[in-house]
Structure 1
């Protein structure tokens, strides 16, 4: 089933040469040679996507929902080979990947349900008022339409839920956009399996073949060709700040600039307030260590920063966290490159005179992550921006402030983040009220008395944040709101009924909820 093919529409194509999967646990290469897509392949796939766009974008919502459900079923139908392939390519354990498969299927079905409700089109009608004085009002009808073909870059840390059929692909499909996926080279076998599942769903639904293409490869040239193809209208990306900003620059330099919805970097501050530390410092330290080391810390919501006021209770927290981290077995990281970058980031903190290492995990083996915890003074953190650089893995910095004013100064100095967390007892409410506005200004999601490693896929979720957490703070890559990234509004004025799309016709053949004269009709 896996042969290293490129999928351009309905055509699976092999090329000479290529690369193999790498098992990060052993460093060994395995599997078939994976073909690398070329700029010519990009042009062919983009042409097919452009041809598919008018058909796919104008499907009835229920028909597109059926397609998303079919993709979910095709992925489930892959069975255990999908999990075993992802385990070998990522080093992630079976329970994690089985859970991720469930999330992948679940978000496809969530978008399908959203389509069936019809609200995503935001149909709005202001009928003509020909007798209105002093001027009549024309007939005005508005709805959301799909942008056009979308490029999705698979992420390294979620081989399923943020990759070929992940949230970006699912939300783009839901909006009515054909998708071209650049497969991540860290898990090409996993990517091909899922890509073939999507292609099977496209064929069974009788959709144009250009509705989906899969283009694996390692080169920056491939990514650049995808972003700059004039038929592509938007990009979804999860990865490094450097890589994401390079894509943003390319997209903005086009003759027709397009949006790049990029998730870039975050260290997700956790604020420990005095009352919470007084009540349960030891328990918080242990729980923090669990969150920090989950999945070798390879989560975009990993708690890479702890903010607290100096106290003996904070010392207890650090001692408990340090003891717990010392007993954690080093976990395999996703790729040798990620493991090397983690080691380099930790070494930079070790070399920083303003950072004191307060916890060390067990010695790491090949491509494994040994946890590290550092401590720094608030004034030093504010003065030295390198202390706030993301280290992708199980590394965190405890920043110690003298008082609430200094704590607020640290918050004000933070870059944009995906999340912020406050641990507070009832006695901390007054201080929490002082720091909450500053945190809201910096993040896309604020949590209380929990840990940020966990993103619920639902209607209310925001997985985004001010730059550099993302390239567009107005959006989310998780939850039903994500599909709005790939839509634009269009208004029809005095257009004949026979020329209107079904969503805007008086007969309402799709049975959609619509806002008429400012009042919802369902």
Structure 2
């Protein structure tokens, strides 16, 4: 069963930030507010290197969040956890830099953007934990070295997004082994949601993103999470399930002696 504790931390390098900081900031804020921030793959932490485009990204995210009215969350418990986690971020030194409309009724979640430095995130592990709801934490990094260090500090994630131009590929190659050990889904130059259900879909990751990273909960192979293997040894045909009988009366695809066949 998937835990809603860990979500994707998008990672942005210097080149795409300078080229399209506004586009990235706007897109990220929109994804973070989907379903009042109550989606497995909604981005929660944005790691961005300080430099050209950083302020534009920051301002675009704030402007997008400011347009959003507070909306009712799924349950009172989720709402209470959201407000409690926002307080946790504040208590640990995160600075509020943007907000949507204030709540007008019980259980409404207010969209928020907070900011910390890379040094703060490294010093306080609690800041790396998700705030499940319409919340984004912007992390201002000093450079690629700190980006790698911060990325290593995250635990299991459902997905991670990496925005990179061609000139960033050398740094991206250094980041990929770090991400591969921390997530089951890596997205380049896009956001991880919405997710298309297909044969290639993977919705998993190391703990605490999921309880068992060997299986996906979305996609054509998701059924494997609910299957338990049983061996039938020395059985007469009439006692076997139809799909296992010698004559294959259901004409299903089967693996026989290591080969896929419908015979």
| Alpha-carbon distance in structure 2 between the residues aligned to 1:506 and 1:398 | 60
* Aligned residue number for residue 484 of structure 1: 224
Q: Give me the TM-score of the superposition, normalised by structure 1.
A: 0.48
Q: Unaligned 5+ residue runs, structure 2?
A: none
| Alpha-carbon distance in structure 1 between the residues aligned to 2:259 and 2:151 | 42
In structure 2, which of residues 136, 140, 145 is the aligned counterpart of residue 396 of structure 1?
136
* Aligned residue number for residue 82 of structure 2: 342
The answer to whether the 8 A contact 2:29-2:136 is kept is no
Residue 502 (structure 1) aligned with residue 234 (structure 2): no
In structure 1, which of residues 337, 361, 373 is the aligned counterpart of residue 100 of structure 2?
361
* Aligned residue number for residue 493 of structure 1: 233
* Aligned residue number for residue 425 of structure 1: 165
| Alpha-carbon distance in structure 2 between the residues aligned to 1:276 and 1:310 | 12
Residue 276 (structure 1) aligned with residue 16 (structure 2): yes
* Aligned residue number for residue 58 of structure 2: 318
* Aligned residue number for residue 145 of structure 1: none
Shift in Å, 1:320? 1.3
Q: Unaligned 5+ residue runs, structure 1?
A: 1-260
Q: Any residues of structure 2 matched to 1:403-442 within 5 Å, and which?
A: 403-442=143-182
* Aligned residue number for residue 291 of structure 1: 31
Q: Residues 497 and 378 of structure 1: is their aligned pair in 2 closer, same or farther, counting only changes over 3 Å?
A: same
Structure with higher helix content: 1
Query: Per-residue CA shift, 1:186-215, capped at 9, x if unaligned?
Result: xxxxxxxxxxxxxxxxxxxxxxxxxxxxxx
Task: Name the SS for the 1:373 alignment partner.
Answer: strand
| Alpha-carbon distance in structure 2 between the residues aligned to 1:270 and 1:262 | 20
Q: Any residues of structure 2 matched to 1:175-324 within 5 Å, and which?
A: 261-324=1-64
Shift in Å, 1:371? 1.4
Query: Per-residue CA shift, 1:437-462, capped at 9, x if unaligned?
Result: 11111112111222223222222211
Q: Which has the higher contact order (CA 8 A, sep 6+)?
A: 2
* Aligned residue number for residue 329 of structure 1: 69
Q: Residues 308 and 323 of structure 1: is their aligned pair in 2 closer, same or farther, counting only changes over 3 Å?
A: same
The answer to whether the 8 A contact 1:265-1:470 is kept is no
Residue 451 (structure 1) aligned with residue 191 (structure 2): yes
Count of matched residue pairs: 261
Shift in Å, 1:417? 0.8
| Alpha-carbon distance in structure 2 between the residues aligned to 1:516 and 1:337 | 50
Query: Which has more radius of gyration?
Result: 1
The answer to whether the 8 A contact 2:155-2:207 is kept is yes
Shift in Å, 1:291? 0.9
| Alpha-carbon distance in structure 2 between the residues aligned to 1:352 and 1:501 | 58
| Alpha-carbon distance in structure 1 between the residues aligned to 2:10 and 2:98 | 18
Q: How large is the RMSD of aligned CA atoms in angstroms?
A: 1.8
Shift in Å, 1:468? 0.8
Shift in Å, 1:306? 0.5
| Alpha-carbon distance in structure 1 between the residues aligned to 2:90 and 2:180 | 31
Residue 519 (structure 1) aligned with residue 259 (structure 2): yes
Structure with higher strand content: 1
Q: Residues 519 and 337 of structure 1: is their aligned pair in 2 closer, same or farther, counting only changes over 3 Å?
A: closer
| Alpha-carbon distance in structure 1 between the residues aligned to 2:119 and 2:59 | 23
Task: Name the SS for the 1:365 alignment partner.
Answer: coil
